[in-house]
Amino acid sequence: MAKSGNYIELTAQYEYTETINGVTCTRVFHDGSEPAVSGLLPEIGDSLDPYSDIRTLRVAEIVTKLYGGHPDKKIYTVKYTTPPEGSETDDAVDPNFLPVSGSVTGEVISIDNKTSQKFRWHSGGTNVDQSIPKYVPTGSIKVSRYSKSCPIHKFAEYMGHVNSDSFEVAKCGAFPAGTVLFTGAQVEQNKNSKGILRWKIDFTFEWRYVELAEKGTFGGWQYFYNDVAAEFQMIYTDTGEYLYPEAALMKLLGAFKEL
């Protein structure tokens, strides 16, 4: 909570900066010259604006220096940022400002060319009478958030589900439905800068892209290679159920009460 006193903000030195690593903001205050002047000085952990989309910006550092030649007056440089503990909320958070890490790798599948006989040797045009390895693009995504609570039993309900709609974090581009699989969460309890118990939650996801028969179209976790048809096809049960159930995975980054 902001500290009351006779503090005055130097509004001309207000800076709001957007970078690839997030958003920062700097505000400068000084002690008022008149006792009658009243104002508030932000403290560590205070939100820049708790009622707007920039509520995740919180005070991470306050630098105090002497104000000019006045021995009893000071100038305060208040720096806001979106550190990992910046959100600390069970409400919806902007996924573009959450810490994200990931990878682009792949998996090798084996094509039984004895069945499809689609692939032939370049010399002579004879059938490739053996299994053929094929590389499929895959990768991982880890999204971290800090919260007041940890409804881990709710997270479990999303385990093994693929995204039912678009999935996008950190402005890295949207993954189409069916391409992102929720694989779990690592949780850890700690204390924030005010000594209050909070939870650090690392959600982990795996993505998968396979090129379908129609060039330029891609499938995800519901598609597997059909050796007879020599292409990736979706599989399902006799009752019409897919291998992986679908869920709105972006809800994990939203308000916990809506899980």
**What does the pLDDT look like over 90-146, one tens digit per residue?**
777 777 778 788 999 999 998 887 767 778 888 877 888 888 898 999 999 999 888
Q: 234 and 118 share a domain?
A: yes
**Statement to judge: residues 72 and 114 lie in one domain:** no
Number of domains in the chain: 2
- Compute the distance between CA of residue 73 and CA of residue 147 in angstroms, rounded to an integer: 38
What pLDDT is stored for residue 137 in this prediction?
92
Q: Are residues 172 and 247 in the same domain?
A: yes
Q: Is residue 198 part of a domain?
A: yes
- Give the domain-ending residue among 32, 52, 81: 81
Judge whether 25 and 17 are in contact, CB under 8 Å. Answer: yes
Q: What is the DSSP letter of 174?
A: P
Q: Examine residue 220 and state whether it is found in any structural domain, yes or no.
A: yes
Residue after which a domain boundary falls, among 22, 53, 81: 81
Entry pTM: 0.65
55 has a pLDDT exceeding 60: no
| Tokens 């709609």, residue located | 165
Residue 152 confidence (pLDDT) above 90: yes
For residues 121 and 238, membership in a common domain is answered with yes
The phi and psi torsions of 59 (rounded to 5 degrees) equal -70, 120
Q: Same structural domain for residues 151 and 224?
A: yes
Final residue in a domain of this structure, among 81, 112, 143: 81
pLDDT at 26: 95
Residue 89 within any structural domain of the chain: no
Is residue 51 very low, low, confident or very high in pLDDT (cuts 50, 70, 90)? low
pLDDT at position 239 over 50 = yes
Are 249 and 167 within one domain? yes
Q: pLDDT of 184-193, one tens digit each?
A: 999 988 766 5
* Average pLDDT, integer, range 73-81: 91
DSSP structure string for 88-147: --SS---GGGS-EEEEEEEEEEEEEHHHH---B-TTT--B--SEEEEEEEEEEEEEEEEE
Residues 231 and 109 in one domain: yes
Residue 88 included in any domain: no
The answer on 43 and 136 residing in a single domain is no
Residue 232 belongs to some domain of the structure: yes
| Same domain, residue pair 99 and 209 | yes
- Please name the helix (run of DSSP H) or strand (run of DSSP E) that holds residue 201, with its range, or none: strand 197-208
Give the CA distances from residue 19 to residues 16, 24, 28, 156, in Å, rounded to whole numbers and listed in that order.
10, 8, 21, 34
Residue 223 vs residue 97, higher pLDDT: 223
Is the same domain home to 191 and 232?
yes
Structural domain boundaries, residue 69: 3-81
Q: Is 63 exposed, middle or buried (0-12, 13-18, 19+ CB in 10 A)?
A: exposed
**Whether residues 165 and 234 fall in one domain:** yes
Establish if 90 belongs to a structural domain.
Answer: no
Do 55 and 171 reside in the same domain of the chain? no
